Structure 1
């Protein structure tokens, strides 16, 4: 009988003291001018609330509802111009075009001895891309077909 009362008293007693200690620690940190020991970045979704900062850590919260900083009206969805692309993308395009023009294997080119082997690969890729697009379109429309 005595043990549950003792446990309840021990659990309940530090809560008000902890809140006072936390405020005192924040004041002490502000007085010393020392940076916090830890900075934690938290991404919130929905109606989550930002956790409280303590004297030892600063909590920086951000919402994931709008992950882009550029407003939707100002975003550009057009393809990136060639002069603005990275050299990796430029080299990949040049390699793909060069392989097709030379009729190398797996290119589906009418020129060269190995060009015909890539046609089935190309058709399979196109088929898979079409199926993914169809599945995405079905998920976008509630209830399947209109």
Structure 2
């Protein structure tokens, strides 16, 4: 009878291990959701029947058109309407700080305009060189 007890114990151990096997099969049937979160937003937690995979993007991308749908091309075609409208404000302007050959001291705004343009070009260059997070 002492030889049977180890066999019964090992059979019980094998039965217990078979009961634990269906758990991975349940995980394979779970729904997988791929979600993009922005900035410091929390990623939703996974549940028993759903696996959540999060991709984190910077806050500046929250309200932008997805990259794969953005058009390429010249800067003017990619520029926002607000930026274009800002340039229309200075069209036809004459006088001091206008960078215009018309009016008194119209030339005084040319250096300011060149400096602003250089800073804007440098900012765009840096943004183009950085890799997305």
TM-score, reference length from structure 2: 0.37
